[in-house]
């Protein structure tokens, strides 16, 4: 069912013939009528004050406004249109707000405190997962953690008899998914071998499997196998050793602990899962993060599901609970591509993320399911120059009426997309001679599923700006230029968008503190 079929919210831009191989430029009358139709539809919006049966929280990790804009254009251009007038699935949700992302101690935050704010209603310090600000970083004492932990929306959902699931393209123990179920003062303690000596705080992977509220977590799909298997066991796909030193095989613990439980690690196992007979599903599809969407088919040895497929499977299992469910879905590798300075993969990850949102919209009833789409933070990712409409978003900037790319003060062409810092730095000043740079992703699954995807292995420094052409900058592996040289591009501090539809979605408006997201979800589910 289309998400807005019942609400009769027809996208005004649909009359602008977008997304076809032969897009027709709108006339002045078309533009005027489209604007009128937008206002007409807005006047017909009726706030849904019912309680939600289900809540789905989508997190595009690092998906700032510039990323959404560039991805919208890229998606539209891949469909044959100019791109600018295109809309991603979640941009059609009726309610919108901005979220202030700073944490208690960070002007520019990391994912741990931002996700903690969204799922607990309380802001905290950097690197902390669902514990309050009074816990020092890397606190070893489990008693102190327990005394200061914050209840999450997932935990409360289970306490109220709902089902709960988490889906991510990152490791399922990574900061964003972990904040929904784990409590620790160091987001990096994903496995027992990651902890400091003497720490009694359980590692994040163990907290996921040992989660005991109302029968435990129902669905967990993502990457991160090595944190779940002992160092005496080889990974089934790549032959690398597990990382657990305590001897536990958490994948076995999962299936023995729960009724009708399954563990899968590849596409075939995933496809074989029958939602009607499976009540608890753990899927770990890579030793670390899952592959970038652009690399899944080429690099994955045994196959792995897309974010859309994981989202759909999770919904099919969770919806069996007549009381409802809470589901968190993270597009985690948007963030990793940005850290690498590779806009192409950031945009294609966002494109797949939008497809997952659409799948959830189609699979749920907007009268009973609250869908929220937001980001934990932004990135220092920019869209600049004065390119003409329809100019390739990954290409060189070319102005209106121009037949050749625009040039900088050195007489060199430049791209529309750039980063303020990161791996794409090419020289110390604009007075230096032009150079060149190359970046190649090795044809090995190890890097593609990598630790973070932050460290390019083939980068040729230059003495100044490179001499660019369309073939170079539109290559999938091109790293956009950066002003400040860093080994990894950084997060940014500006507000991020919140899109919402369904019960209580109208409570999102204006500029909000990030922790308000939790309170809207709690209100929608009747937890307040």
Task: Provide the annotated active-site residues.
Answer: 111
CA distance 89 to 362: 11
For residue 403, what are the contacts with CB-CB under 8 A and spacing of at least 6? none
3-class SS string, 245-278: CCCCCHHHHHHHHCCCEEEECCHHHHHCCCCCCC
362 contacts 2 by C-beta, under 8 angstroms: yes
CA distance 347 to 351: 6
CA distance 489 to 495: 18
Nearest to 139 by CA among 183, 186, 178, 105: 186
Q: Which pair of tokens denotes residue 17?
A: 């013939």
The per-residue DSSP string of 187-229 comes to TT--SGGGSPTT--SPPHHHHHHT--GGG--SEEEEE-GGGTS
CA distance 508 to 57: 14
381 contacts 417 by C-beta, under 8 angstroms: yes
Q: Which pair of tokens denotes residue 82?
A: 């100019």
527 contacts 58 by C-beta, under 8 angstroms: no
Give the Å distances, CA to CA, from 401 to 18, 22, 85, 404: 22, 20, 20, 9
> Dihedrals φ, ψ of 277, to 5°?
-115, 0
Strands (E), 309-357: 325-331
Q: What angle do CA 257, 261, 262 make, to 5 degrees?
A: 120
Q: Which pair of tokens denotes residue 425?
A: 């730095």
Q: What angle do CA 172, 178, 363 make, to 5 degrees?
A: 65
Q: Which pair of tokens denotes residue 435?
A: 């150079």
CA distance 360 to 245: 38
CA distance 111 to 499: 19
The per-residue DSSP string of 390-424 comes to T--TTSB---TT-SS--B-TTS-B-BSEEEEEETT
């Amino acid at each position: 069912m289309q998400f807005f079929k019942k609400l009769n919210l027809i996208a005004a831009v649909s009359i602008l013939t977008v997304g076809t191989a032969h897009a027709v430029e709108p006339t002045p009358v078309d533009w005027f009528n489209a604007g009128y139709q937008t206002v007409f539809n807005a006047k017909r919006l009726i706030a849904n004050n019912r309680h939600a049966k289900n809540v789905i929280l989508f997190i595009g990790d690092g998906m700032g406004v510039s990323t959404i804009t560039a991805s919208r254009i890229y998606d539209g251009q891949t469909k044959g249109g100019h791109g600018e007038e295109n809309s991603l699935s979640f941009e059609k949700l009726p309610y919108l707000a901005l979220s202030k992302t700073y944490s208690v101690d960070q002007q520019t935050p990391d994912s741990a405190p931002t996700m903690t704010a969204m799922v607990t209603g309380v802001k905290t310090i950097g690197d902390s997962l669902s514990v309050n600000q009074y816990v020092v970083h890397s606190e070893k004492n489990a008693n102190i953690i327990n005394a200061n932990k914050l209840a999450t929306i997932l935990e409360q959902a289970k306490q109220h008899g709902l089902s709960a699931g988490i889906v991510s393209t990152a490791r399922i123990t990574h900061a964003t998914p972990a904040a929904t179920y784990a409590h620790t003062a160091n987001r990096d303690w994903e496995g027992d071998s990651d902890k400091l000596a003497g720490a009694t705080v359980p590692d994040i992977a163990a907290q996921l499997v040992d989660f005991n509220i109302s029968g435990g977590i129902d669905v967990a799909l993502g990457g991160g196998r090595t944190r779940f298997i002992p160092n005496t066991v080889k990974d089934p796909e790549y032959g690398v050793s597990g990382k657990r030193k305590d001897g536990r095989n958490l994948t076995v613990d999962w299936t023995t602990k729960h009724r009708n439980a399954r563990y899968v690690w590849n596409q075939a196992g995933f496809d074989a899962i029958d939602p009607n007979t499976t009540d608890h599903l753990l899927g770990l599809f890579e030793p670390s993060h899952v592959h970038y969407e652009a690399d899944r088919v080429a690099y994955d040895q045994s196959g792995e599901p897309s974010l859309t497929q994981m989202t759909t499977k999770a919904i099919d299992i969770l919806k069996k609970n007549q009381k409802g469910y809470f589901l968190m879905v993270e597009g985690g590798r948007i963030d990793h591509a940005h850290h690498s300075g590779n806009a192409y993969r950031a945009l294609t990850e966002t494109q797949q993320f939008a497809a997952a949102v659409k799948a959830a919209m189609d699979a749920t009833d907007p009268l009973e399911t609250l869908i929220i789409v937001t980001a934990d933070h932004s990135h220092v990712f920019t869209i600049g120059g004065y390119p003409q409409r329809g100019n390739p978003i990954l290409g060189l900037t070319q102005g209106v009426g121009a037949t050749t790319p625009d040039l900088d003060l050195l007489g060199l062409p430049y791209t529309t997309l750039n980063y303020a810092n990161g791996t794409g730095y090419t020289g110390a000043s604009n007075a230096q001679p032009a150079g060149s740079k190359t970046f190649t992703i090795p044809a090995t699954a190890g890097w593609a599923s990598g630790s973070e995807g932050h460290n390019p292995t083939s980068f040729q420094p230059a003495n100044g700006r490179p001499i660019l052409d369309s073939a170079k900058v539109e290559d999938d592996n091109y790293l956009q230029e950066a002003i400040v040289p860093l080994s990894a591009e950084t997060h940014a501090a500006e507000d991020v968008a919140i899109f919402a539809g369904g019960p209580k979605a109208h409570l999102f408006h204006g500029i909000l503190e990030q922790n308000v997201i939790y309170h809207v979800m709690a209100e929608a589910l009747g937890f307040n």
